[in-house]
Structure 1
Amino acid sequence: MKFLDKLQNEILIGDGAIGTLLYDRGHSGSIEDANRHAEEMVVSAHQEYIEAGANVIQSNTYAANQLKLMNYGLEHGMGEINAQGVRLAKHAAKGKNVYVAGTIGGIRDGRASPFNNQEIKAATQSQAEALLSEDPDVILLETYYDLHELVQAVRVIKRLSPDMPVIGNVSLGDVGVLHGGIPVNDALLRLWNEGANVIGINCRMGPAQTIASLEEISLPEGAYLSAYPNASLPGIQDGRLVYQSNPDYFKSQAEEFRKQGVHLLGGCCGTTPEHIRSFTEKLQGQSPAVKERTKVSAVREQASAEVGDTLQLDKKDPSIIVELDPPKSLTKMDKFLNGAQTLHEAGADAVTLADNSLATSRIDNLAASTLIKQQAGAHPLLHIACRDRNLIGMQSHLLGLHALGIRDVLAVTGDPTKVGDFPGATSVYDLTSFDLIRLIKAMNEGFSHSGRPLGLQTKFTVGAAFNPNVSSMAKAVKRLEKKIVAGADFVMTQPIYDVETLHQLKEATAHLDIPIYVGIMPLINGRNAEFLHNEVPGIQLTEQVRKRMAECGKDVQKGEEEGMAIAKELQGASLELFGRIYLITPFLRYHITAALTSDIKTRSAQQMRFS
């Protein structure tokens, strides 16, 4: 009997984790490469699941795509690893009432991926071709966090082999939702419409949360539901993920899976033949319950968050942001707070605080921004670097900002740790600046990165960094356009030191309907100018500017005056072209940027008086 015919009236039991068994038996390295070098071990694992009652087993090919095999230098063996995986599963199933699924795993895992859609599509297609060459009974697509990637995979299989049954399993970000807030029912309906024959959930969650998610699902006639829960939530032991051994618990939950209308029930991470035996003993030969077959609409109550003060991006008067970096030393905190108050009183619309710029440890900018808001009355704008926080910490940080009433942020990649004072520290980079912008915008819609409702919508205004000091302004603007598509509300540039670059920037961004704050960092002496030009990424000074600063020699007063003169020339042109300035305070010398801020305000008032 064909797979789908068998599935129509009977619950089929799938197998559990292959990797768990192979690791326990001493295999190391690529699990999938065991197909070529540990064939007996792989066949034995399949047979253990068959003896436990599984009548659907997977080929040992979950991560056998070219992109993941590159981690082991095995990409050139992709075809044989996949074909051999199906052959070994068929050998184990020979003469038994068991179906063989050719397995393809998702490539994106909910974090930033180095691979684009075309690379992922090509890897999926080549793996699918290798699996199909051995004629499995069904193709299983599992552990997909990205719905787009899974839809693309379904299309690939159906184009290569229109009659091949396809199982499409999503992995959830939270109970009932995929990453990005997509309700699981909507996702599964999409997969059904794309041609997947069996649709469901696997990995990420144990039985309880999987069942809770299944309760939100209602499918059309003809669609079959699958579930492959993890053994439990994972723990860490000796550097490895470990799962609780709980077969009796699985047995107690089996009937709940049947009540939810599951036709195919197996296990994922941490599950063993004993878990599968528990399902078999409870459900062997039973029919799935029939659930109501009307589409369930996801209803989400979203309360409006209290709107905090945000940067007025549509103001017509000159708008000025002034950067004042938190100090490295606790002894300079009073000076920092005095600086923030001075800048606020001079007329700065916001005081912006970098996030450990140049990978140098400073007083936390969240704590510093809270203090300047409370004690100086200044409006804070925080930089958020992707370098220092993983995805969990990043979302937590953003929620903390919102709870403290801080609404304006700048998303930046962050300088690598090797340039700073802790070169041995780890650069995290779970997110790119593009991902961070999208995360913030999702939170503004009321969803966490996992898709879980936050209860309230955040009200962040998010800026994007832009470096105009590049060889190709056009390419830089193309990158900026992607940040705007991701959701950026305004732009802050790296410091610019010549008027010609300002005009080039204006021309290159004329089509962009977004406020641009032009970066201006006053110079203080010739040595400072040479350091910035030669050693700081993203900053270039003209020969004329460097010469003017060099001529000041070691005269401190003359150096500051010349630096201010250059800054005034640049800010005059910047205001005429863009109407917005981003002043960067050098070395906590806030009297310089306060004077420049006052100069802008004075000129603006005079112009209004005479207009």
Structure 2
Amino acid sequence: MNFAEVLRERVLVCDGAMGTMLHAAGNSLDRALPELNLSNPELVSTVHESYVGAGVDIVLTNTFGANRLRLAEHGSSTSVRDINLAAVRLARQARRGVDRTIFVGGSVSPAVSASQRQSVRPDERVEAIREQVRALVDGGVDLLVLETFGYLDELVEAVRVAAGLTELPILAQATFTAEGLMPGGETPHEVASALGELPITALGANCTVGPQRMLAVVDELRRYTTLPISAQPNAGLPRRIGRRFEYSVEGDYFARYARRYVERGASIVGGCCGTSPAHIRDIVTTLTDLRPKQQRRPKPVRPRPLVQPEHGRLAQRLAERRFVVAAQIAPPAGGGAEEATELVSVLRRNGIDLVFVAARESARAQVSSASLALHVEREVGAETIATVTTWDKTIMTLQADLLGAHAFGMRTVVCETGNPPLRGDYPNADGIWEVDSVGLIELLAGLNDGRDCNGLTLATKTSFHIGARFNPGAEDRDAELARTKAKIAAGAQFLITRPIYETEGLAAMLAVLSEEDVPVLMAVSPLTGYAEAEYLAHEVPDVRIPRATLDTLEAAGDRGREVGLELASELLAEARPLVRGVVLVLRDGRKLADFLPLVAEHK
């Protein structure tokens, strides 16, 4: 019988979880479950037969993730075509001898997991979907079921691929979070609008949420489409028990909500993660007296307005191509904030209202750079820009800190990997990096797009202005250039050099980076004398001090501090045509009074 015709006449019940059943049978959570179609077909057949016995109208093939990219993630090299053909054969066999119509739906997942999305090109995704769909069609499925798509562009992509290969019915299912949005941020209205223009037979939602939250999604979809709707929720929230996940939603509760889906306009109901033949049997019993509702034309809805993000003074000045003069301070050791507040007050009185707060690499107690920046900005009024490092922080901790800082008004952040303080014989032996500076930049760029580190939608987009460091004095300049380009590609919107003492390396790197069109600020830290210059030149990696500078400071003797300021002034004058601004670094051992003449000269 024709699937679309049957769908107009009666409510169809789809099966429940395949993966949950296979895991319950002892298969590892990290195994490629579609491979069982070849290695353990008896187990897969048993699951299909259990759902057929429960009374389903649609059986889905065991092919979620059965494309080359997903299989490769699990280390499987088995033929994609062989796995999918075997899956269709097992599903078709399960309906033999049954005296009612049972449709075999070819299950198609997104081409890649959310964590792999950014590293795989769209054309690679398309080819992976095309290869799998072709095998399912050749195997003899009755319809294609695109399920658990978290990003609308991928779902649209998959529908177009499938429609280009076959005229079989297509059921397109997005997945929505508890907030009612796809992980990619799209609303049910946007999903219905996009899919309504494509050749699909039905649309719906599956996975991620439980029965109650799915009801709200059904309501939203029904408002915006006249197409048949499907709903396949999870059996609530899971809890992990050893190597397994367990779900607690009982069959009668699950079936009660399935009936509500149909009463609200759904035509296909079933289950996803955590559901079993028992859940599906209860659904079949509950829906025996219901028919699909006739649908009215959806109401037109105005599109959401675009929100223009607010940025800080630095972003504004760079956009206006004004030369920037800023200062950089470090959090005082010992945990106090008064010293920094007074220092920034003096800087502001002398014309500097942009202050970078560095991250101090010290084992002593200290205020975090972000907390200090927010405190000083509130007390003084200068825009303070925090340097955020990633060492000893999980990405979830970084994300929470950044969202908190944004809520309190911080808009500009400089990203660094950072180094923990030395505490033993081996440098940084107890440092932990879940992400480095590139990962931190990607996190901030995602927050600006309205996505968290897991790709889930935020309540609102952030508006961070993202900065990154680079080092023109690096010994391996090619490696430093490659690293800097990676930061720009990740989303860095401006760059700051490490403190430099000559312009040759800076000019060489800027010549290569000019094609990136990213504003560059130069950090300058006036030398206090020959001892400091000698230490930096010989004991600190990737710092270049010209021989002429060393000789000049050695000859200066007791006038080293004064000569250091003169050298810094000459360096600034030489570099000014190359960069968009300067960051004057106040460090321990340099008095503010010595620093102020540079401010006046280059403001």
Which TM bucket (shorter chain)?
Answer: 0.7 to 0.9
Tell me how far apart the structure 2 counterparts of residues 293 and 2 of structure 1 sit (CA, whole Å): 24
Q: Residue in 2 aligned with 1:25?
A: 25
Corresponding residue for 1:16? 16
Structure 2 residue identity aligned to 1:74 = S
Give the aligned partner of residue 168 of structure 2. 164
**Aligned AA (2:428):** D
Number of equivalences: 586
Equivalent position to 2:121, from 116, 119, 122: 116
Give the fraction of aligned pairs with identical amino acids, expressed as a percent: 26
Give the counterpart letter for 2:130 in structure 1: Q
Q: Which residue of 2 aligns with 1:368?
A: 372
Q: Out of 266, 277, 284, which is 1:273 matched to?
A: 277
Residue range with higher mean Cα deviation, 168-177 or 223-232: 168-177
Which of 212, 215, 240 is matched with 1:211 structurally?
Answer: 215
What is the distance in 1 between the residues matched to 2:391 and 2:125? 26
| Mapped pair 1:151 → 2:156 | yes
Greater CA drift, 468-477 or 34-43: 468-477
Worse-matched range after superposition: 423-432 or 252-261: 423-432
Letter in 2 for 1:50: V
Give the C-alpha shift of residue 128 in structure 1. 2.3
Encode CA deviations 1:103-149: one digit per residue, 9 max, x unaligned. Answer: 12122427864323233223222222332331211121111111112
Q: Distance in 2 between matches of 1:231 and 1:430?
A: 39
> Which position in structure 1 is the counterpart of 2:146?
141
CA contact (8 A) 1:185 1:217 kept: yes
Quick one: which amino acid aligns to residue 129 of structure 1? Answer: R
3-state secondary structure, aligned to 1:261: coil
- Is the Cα contact below 8 Å between 2:444 and 2:464 reproduced in 1? no
Match of 2:69 in 1: 67
Question: Which range moves more in the overlay, 62-71 or 371-380?
Answer: 371-380
What do the CA deviations read for 1:1-53 (whole angstroms, capped 9, x no partner)? 02222222221111111111111111223322222222111111111111122
Q: Give the Cα separation in 1 of the matches to 2:133 and 2:557.
A: 69
Please, which of 310, 329, 332 is the counterpart of residue 324 of structure 1? 329
Q: Find the counterpart in structure 2 of residue 242 from structure 1.
A: 246
Cα distance, 1:241 vs structure 2: 4.1
Q: Which moved more, 1:556-565 or 1:226-235?
A: 556-565
Superposition TM-score, scaled by structure 1 size: 0.81
Work out which of the residue numbers 191, 194, 208 in structure 1 matches 2:195: 191
Deviations 1:507-545 (A, max 9, x none): 55667776432234556333333454x4xxxxx445x62
CA distance in 2, matches of 1:475, 1:308: 28
Is contact 1:549-1:559 (8 Å) kept? Answer: no
Q: Secondary structure at the match of 1:216?
A: helix
**RMSD over aligned Cα, in angstroms?**
4.2
Q: Distance in 1 between matches of 2:557 and 2:124?
A: 56
Gap change, CA 1:503 and 1:241, over 3 Å in 2:
same
**Structure 2 portions without partners, runs of 5+:** none
Partner deviation per Cα, 1:163-185 (whole Å, 9 max, x = no partner)? 12222111124433223532212
How far apart are the structure 2 equivalents of 1:369 and 1:240?
A: 45
Instruction: Give the letter aligned to residue 75 of structure 1.
Output: S
The aligned amino acid for 2:152 is: L
**Aligned: 1:406 with 2:410:** yes
CA gap 1:479/1:373 in 2 versus in 1, 3 angstroms: same
Residue pair 2:309, 2:463 contacting (<8 A) in 1 also: yes
Aligned to 2:571: 570
1:278-289 to 2 correspondences below 5 Å:
278-284=282-288, 286-289=290-293
Alpha-carbon distance in 2 for matches of 1:163, 1:72: 32
Q: SS at 1:68's partner residue?
A: helix
> Secondary structure at 2:16's aligned position in 1?
coil
> SS in structure 1 opposite 2:317?
coil
Deviation at 1:571, TM superposition (A): 2.4
* Alignment pair present for 1:262 and 2:266: yes
Aligned partner letter, 1:568? S
Q: 1:133-532 residue pairs with structure 2 within 5 A?
A: 133-159=138-164, 161-218=165-222, 223-238=227-242, 241-284=245-288, 286-297=290-301, 312-313=316-317, 318-326=323-331, 330=334, 340=344, 343-344=347-348, 347-354=351-358, 363-374=367-378, 378-384=382-388, 393-411=397-415, 421=428, 423=430, 425=432, 427-428=434-435, 432-433=439-440, 435-442=442-449, 450-451=456-457, 453-454=459-460, 460-465=464-469, 470-471=477-478, 482=489, 490-504=494-508, 507=511, 515-521=519-525, 524-532=532-540
Q: 1:357 to 1:133 in 2, by over 3 A?
A: farther
Farther off after superposition, 471-480 or 564-573: 471-480
Q: CA deviation at 1:284?
A: 3.6
Query: Does structure 1 retain, via aligned residues, the 8 Å contact 2:226–2:298?
Result: no
Shift of 1:74: 0.8
Counterpart AA for 1:441: N
C-alpha distance in 1 between matches for 2:90 and 2:175: 27
Q: Which amino acid counterpart does residue 408 of structure 2 have in structure 1? A: L
SS of the residue 2:104 aligns to: strand
Cα contact 1:228–1:267 (8 A) shared by 2: yes
Label 1:55 to 1:403 Cα distance change in 2 as closer, same or farther (>3 A): same
- Cα 1:435–1:303 change in 2 (3 A) is closer
Task: Tell me how far apart the structure 2 counterparts of residues 516 and 551 of structure 1 sit (CA, whole Å).
Answer: 29
8 Å contact kept, 2:374–2:405? no
8 A contact 2:222–2:229 mirrored in 1: no
**How far has the Cα of 1:232 moved from its partner?**
0.9
2:271–2:280: 8 Å Cα contact kept in structure 1? yes
Query: Which runs of no fewer than 5 residues in structure 1 stay unpaired?
Result: 535-539, 606-611
SS in 2 for 1:248: helix
Q: Deviations over 1:261-300 (max 9, x none)?
A: 2121111111111221222111246322234322442676
| Alpha-carbon offset, residue 225 of structure 1 | 1.3
The whole-number CA distance in structure 2 between the counterparts of 1:248 and 1:10 is 22
Equivalent in the alignment of 2:45: 43
